[in-house]
Amino acid sequence: MANRTGGDRNYDCPVRDILDRIGDAWSVLVILELARGPCRFNALCRVIDGISQRMLAVTLRRLERDGFVSRNVLPVAPPQVEYALTDLGWSLKSQLSGLYEWADNHQPAIRQARERYDDLADA
């Protein structure tokens, strides 16, 4: 969405600009998986449950464009590509670790709250 001066509103707001990237369905999972170490495309596709090859390719391209991920073509035949976190990616991962831990610790309580809400809504 453009603002009155013709710029991109999301780009003008640093929080929204970054939340647009990490708020998508897959970027955080890709970053957390790459924190385990460099990984090839097919290996990432296998370990990130539910992601399609197309969506993984789109997500990796966006993360590479934003400077969070590097792409290295390995000198083998057939060519293989390995992805890794950049320094910027590592700095984001350190911020995401707290969110991951919070989500892991609070998921049961959130599920219970949803069940209570749904039970009341159905009554």
Question: What's the pTM?
Answer: 0.79
For residue 92, being part of any structural domain is answered with yes
Task: Please say whether the dihedral angle defined by the alpha carbons of residues 35, 37, 39 and 45, taken in this order, is positive or negative.
Answer: negative
Does residue 95 belong to any structural domain of this protein?
yes
pLDDT of residue 68: 97
Residue 36, in any domain of the structure? yes
Residue 79 confidence class, pLDDT cut points 50, 70, 90: confident
d(CA 121, CA 108): 20
Residue 2 inside a domain? The answer is no
* Residue 3: inside a domain: no
Structural domain for 16, as ranges: 9-122
The structural domain count of the chain equals 1
Is a pLDDT exceeding 60 seen at residue 2? Answer: no
What CATH number is given to the structural domain containing 40?
1.10.10.10
Query: What residues contact 61, with CB distance under 8 A and at least 6 apart?
Result: none
